[in-house]
Amino acid sequence: MEVLPSEKVKIPIQFLKGVGPKRAKALELLNIQTVEDLLYYFPRRHVDRTITHTIDSLTLDHEVNVIGRIKSIRYVKRFKKSYVIANFADHTGSMTLMWFNAAEYIGQSLKENDLLAIHGKVTSYQNKFQIVHPEYDKLNANEITVNTGLIIPIYPLTEDLKKVGLDSRNLRKIIANCIKDVEQIDDFLTQEYRDSLGLCSLDFALRNIHFTKNLDHLNSAITRLKFDEHFFIQLLFATRKKQIQNSTCLPLEKKLTILNKITNSLTFELTSAQRNSINEIIEDLCTSHPMNRMIQGDVGSGKTIVACLISALVVENDYQVAIMAPTDLLANQIFRNFEKYFSSLKINCSIILGSQKGQTKKEILKKIASGESSIIVGTHALFQKNVTFKNLGLTIIDEQHRFGVNQREKLIKKSKIPNLLSMTATPIPRTLAITYNGDMDISLIDELPKNRPDIFTTKIQTTDLPVTYDFIKGKIKKGEQAIIVYPLIEETEKSDLKAATESYEKLKKQFFSNYNVGLLHGKINNEDKNQTMLDFLDGKIDILVSTTVVEVGIDNPNATIMLINNAERFGLSQLHQLRGRVGRGKKESHCILCSDSFSDKSNNRLDILTKTRNGFLIADEDLKIRGPGEFFGEKQSGFIKYRIADLVTDGPIIREARKFAFQIIDNDSKLLSPDNNLIKKKFEKDYLNLFLKITVN
């Protein structure tokens, strides 16, 4: 929370006027325990009530503000239901007001001839204008008016708040009293800092975010408060990066014999982006500071071969390399790729999975501990206590966003040299990249290998499936293979899995009885899953029916057709990932999106896939549509919880906050300057624990 001079901000919320013990308990569920907490309970939106309307100018279905008097009012109770109905008039006409909620309280509170300012949506009742549940202010009452003549804050209200009588109107009154009582709010940014950034003061921002008469003032307040949230996150990353830069480790020597041997054995030419990434990583590894870098590349851009070549340099320096993947499927795929390049050079590769048991696992652990295994691929099993490395010099984490911070740190702590290389095949929009990975250097692989075939993407409906199945048969007769995907969403996993299994049986018996059809989903045991994968890669399976488990981990150059059922249920980035499972060889490929959704939103989303293969453009659109919370298939935005900031729209603010944060840490890494005193206090109070969570000890 921000540093405030008045001790009043530390007062427990229950002692505020209008709160009391019951309401305080409900507010505590929202982490509002003090006056200071309440100041930072921001509105979810604002409504402009600076303009008033006359009754004769009203139109249906519009939200309006009207000032008038109650001509008559009745409290009606019938059986267990009650309501209040009032005749309300100004100098131009009259209308009806009705309340069903808290009717008894409103019936006692309002009286005939009360002068009110009301706000609500206009409907019709018996050929007369009506507003149901209008918000109101008594203009003839000796009380704070916080609902009229202002740009009104609308706060998020939970059921717990409503149960204790805290509606928007009451909450506004409480916050208005709170703001009135709080003195000048100290700012952790000096006047000089604010002027250079073009920001208003914190005092101005906190007052105007709640109550303002000016839209420009409101926008200034929002910008300042958004900046603050982004700034401290970026300060966190700037501090973390400075710590890495200030720590030392043994640099690797630029030994390139093995790397060059693998490069010369390749049947394809590395792209410029791949070569640039390799050079950047080599430069990192050969300095006396630990590497902390991410390779960000589109689907099929060739990240794995970059990882192989970099591993060759590490191995030639007599260090081990650990590659961690989120699933057995992907770990096996990576292991096969690494083994293909290193086995001919007599360099031992091992794979360790949680499913391995007994003597097999003991032998693998022994090879890792002795250093006999130079390349070790695995899943979460890699960071378990019984895995001991002899000389770990590089940790590579694939699809790194699927691992928690603590999981990554457990593996890195096993290293002699804490060099970290993360990889992601999910193109991340710029705003997300500098928010989730702000302490990392990024190598961008933004071009596909040369001579990659086109992937033609089309939309169909279920009525077109028979024709599509015939098309698939024609391709199989030419020796090609297909993947048919069914959705598997967490909330409906059981029914989705049943539908996918039933569809597999139907396809196998009815449409593709003369072909080899395989089934793959997450509930199949690992041994059978891996065997199915191998059979598909070896051409023993013509058609692989699967859930989204194939999103990563399948690299079959002979797979040329991807049919995705219920495509509207997937995010754009996920569809792009699925599409990337085909078109990996030299043959023309097809991605077919099947959807019976006729909504404009759904069709517009799928149209994006048919127009571009640029994962970064797709990722930007996906972020706009779904927001950051679900971008990685999660319900939350990692460890970052924002009150007002928005990763979708705040790009310019994020970049400005990042530039400023890194500038401060570059000039004053320990925040000892008097100008940074309050910044340091806030950082230590609210962000130090978060910093420690992501810091390598």
Query: Tens of pLDDT along 402-445?
Result: 666 666 677 888 888 889 998 887 667 666 777 767 778 888 88
Is residue 686 over pLDDT 80?
no
Structure tokens at 140: 């003839």
Residue 408 vs residue 647, higher pLDDT? 647
Determine the Cα–Cα distance for residues 23 and 162; give it in Å rounded to an integer: 10
Same domain, 330 and 286: yes
Same domain, 532 and 586: yes
Query: Which of 118, 149, 180 is the last residue before a domain boundary?
Result: 149
Same domain, 399 and 534: no
Determine the Cα–Cα distance for residues 595 and 458; give it in Å rounded to an integer: 11
Q: What is the pLDDT of residue 550?
A: 67
E strand segments, 139-233: 151-154
Query: Would residue 353 count as lying in a domain?
Result: yes
Which range is most confident: 61-65, 188-192, 399-403, 420-424? 188-192
Mean pLDDT of the 619-646 span: 63
Is residue 86 over pLDDT 70?
yes
Mean pLDDT of the 309-329 span: 93
Mean pLDDT of the 356-367 span: 89
Q: What is the pLDDT of residue 105?
A: 83
Cβ within 8 Å of residue 219, ≥6 positions away:
none
Q: What is the pLDDT of residue 666?
A: 93
Query: Would residue 548 count as lying in a domain?
Result: yes
Q: What is the pLDDT of residue 573?
A: 81
The domain in which residue 105 lies consists of: 51-149
Determine the Cα–Cα distance for residues 487 and 344; give it in Å rounded to an integer: 40
- CA torsion, ordered 381, 385, 386, 390, to nearest 10 deg: 100
Query: Would residue 504 count as lying in a domain?
Result: yes
Confidence class of residue 458 from pLDDT cuts 50, 70 and 90?
Answer: very high
Determine the Cα–Cα distance for residues 376 and 389; give it in Å rounded to an integer: 10
Instruction: Say if CB 684 and CB 691 are below 8 A apart.
Output: no
Exposure string of 159-172, with b = 16+ CB inside 10 Å and e = fewer, is: eebeebebebebbb
Determine the Cα–Cα distance for residues 632 and 627; give it in Å rounded to an integer: 10
- CATH number of the domain at 56, please: 2.40.50.140
- CATH number of the domain at 535, please: 3.40.50.300
Same domain, 421 and 469: no
pLDDT digits (tens, 9 = 90+) for 538-588: 899 999 998 877 666 677 889 999 999 989 888 888 888 889 888 888 889
Task: Give how many domains the chain has, as a whole number.
Answer: 3
Residue 151 vs residue 195, higher pLDDT? 195
Is residue 228 over pLDDT 90?
yes
Query: Would residue 196 count as lying in a domain?
Result: no
Residue 430 vs residue 178, higher pLDDT? 178
- CA torsion, ordered 4, 8, 13, 18, to nearest 10 deg: -120
Same domain, 430 and 471: no
Query: Would residue 97 count as lying in a domain?
Result: yes
Determine the 3-state secondary structure of 145 from DSSP: coil
- CA torsion, ordered 63, 65, 71, 73, to nearest 10 deg: 50
Is residue 94 over pLDDT 80?
yes
Instruction: Say if CB 96 and CB 128 are below 8 A apart.
Output: yes
Same domain, 439 and 479: no
Structure tokens at 93: 């006409």
Instruction: Say if CB 307 and CB 437 are below 8 A apart.
Output: no
Q: What is the pLDDT of residue 201?
A: 96
Residues of the chain with pLDDT > 70: what percent?
89
Instruction: Say if CB 575 and CB 514 are below 8 A apart.
Output: no
Is residue 466 over pLDDT 70?
yes
Q: What is the pLDDT of residue 265?
A: 93
Which range is most confident: 33-42, 456-465, 500-509, 566-575? 456-465
Q: Which helix (DSSP H) or strand (DSSP E) does residue 364 occupy?
A: helix 358-370
Cβ within 8 Å of residue 63, ≥6 positions away:
47, 119, 120, 121, 122
Pairing of strands 517-520, 375-378: unpaired
Confidence class of residue 7 from pLDDT cuts 50, 70 and 90?
Answer: low
Is residue 612 over pLDDT 60?
yes
Mean pLDDT of the 314-335 span: 91
Query: Would residue 467 count as lying in a domain?
Result: yes
Same domain, 339 and 441: yes
Residue 529 vs residue 318, higher pLDDT? 318
Q: What is the pLDDT of residue 530?
A: 80
| H helix intervals, 430-549 | 430-436, 465-477, 493-506, 526-537
Residue 578 vs residue 168, higher pLDDT? 578
pLDDT digits (tens, 9 = 90+) for 376-405: 999 888 888 888 999 999 999 987 666 666
The Cβ of residue 23 has, within 10 Å, a number of other Cβ atoms equal to 22
What does each C-alpha distance from 535 to 485, 546, 582 come to in angstroms?
A: 18, 14, 17
Is residue 446 over pLDDT 50?
yes
Same domain, 476 and 572: yes
Query: Would residue 414 count as lying in a domain?
Result: yes
Is residue 33 over pLDDT 80?
yes
Confidence class of residue 478 from pLDDT cuts 50, 70 and 90?
Answer: very high
Is residue 631 over pLDDT 60?
no
Which range is most confident: 263-267, 277-281, 386-390? 277-281
Is residue 153 over pLDDT 90?
no
Q: What is the pLDDT of residue 69?
A: 93
Structure tokens at 264: 């010369």
Confidence class of residue 696 from pLDDT cuts 50, 70 and 90?
Answer: very low
Same domain, 485 and 434: no
Same domain, 294 and 382: yes
Same domain, 430 and 491: no
Q: What is the pLDDT of residue 692?
A: 52
Query: Which of 418, 445, 472 is the last residue before a domain boundary?
Result: 445
Same domain, 507 and 588: yes
Q: What is the pLDDT of residue 191?
A: 95
Query: Would residue 216 count as lying in a domain?
Result: no
Q: What is the pLDDT of residue 140?
A: 59
Distance between alpha carbon 115 and the CA centroid of its chain, in Å? 48
Q: What is the pLDDT of residue 198?
A: 96
Query: Which of 420, 445, 470 is the last residue before a domain boundary?
Result: 445
Determine the 3-state secondary structure of 37 from DSSP: helix
Cβ within 8 Å of residue 614, ≥6 positions away:
298
